[in-house]
């Protein structure tokens, strides 16, 4: 099982394929701007990202993820997979959606069903490699 995927697998060009550009979702330009804002905070703690609170940050630290840079160096699928090995409470799809939202500066509560399906499918592909 190969867990060394590129940084988070979700970039602006991938997002374009499953994000709608209607009033409910950000445009591609806004998504790219938000990702750029994350990169400006590279040395900051992960909890400065949207969707990442103190409990998730504590679990990330157990995985050796102390900064946003550490967070962005790994795939969200790798992080989600490893967090589940720490504690069963992390075996929750909302955590996966929160990690996706943190990378893309998008509130995970606003993800539509199609996007959630896509993220889940990508994760299933990741664990079955």
CATH of the domain at 71: 1.10.150.20
CA-to-CA distance for 17 and 121, rounded, in angstroms? 14
Domain count, the chain: 1
| Residue percentage of the chain with pLDDT more than 90 | 56
What are 52-75's pLDDT values in tens digits? Answer: 999 999 999 999 999 988 998 999
Please, which pLDDT band fits residue 44 given cuts at 50, 70 and 90?
A: confident
Look at residue 21 and tell me if it is in a domain.
Answer: yes
Q: How far apart are CA 34 and CA 114, in angstroms?
A: 21
Q: Alpha helix (H) ranges present in 4-127?
A: 12-18, 28-40, 54-62, 68-72, 76-86, 93-104, 113-127
Mean pLDDT for the chain overall: 78
Residue 4, in any domain of the structure? no
- State the residue range of the domain holding 75: 12-127
Q: Is residue 7 part of a domain?
A: no
CA distance 58 to 128: 28
Q: How much is the pLDDT for 76?
A: 95
In a domain, 3, yes or no: no
Task: For residue 64, tell me if it sits in a domain.
Answer: yes
- Residue 89 belongs to a domain: yes
pTM of the model: 0.70
């Amino acid at each position: 099982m190969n867990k060394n995927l590129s940084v988070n697998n979700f970039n602006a060009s991938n997002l374009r394929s499953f994000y709608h550009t209607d009033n409910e979702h950000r445009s591609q330009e806004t998504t790219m701007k938000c990702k750029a804002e994350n990169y400006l905070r590279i040395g900051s703690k992960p909890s400065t990202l949207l969707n990442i609170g103190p409990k998730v940050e504590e679990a990330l630290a157990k995985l050796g993820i102390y900064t946003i840079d550490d967070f962005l160096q790994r795939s969200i699928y790798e992080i989600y997979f490893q967090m589940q090995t720490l504690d069963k409470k992390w075996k929750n799809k909302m955590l996966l959606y929160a990690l996706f939202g943190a990378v893309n500066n998008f509130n995970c509560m606003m993800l539509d069903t199609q996007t959630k399906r896509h993220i889940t499918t990508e994760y299933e592909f990741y664990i079955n490699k």
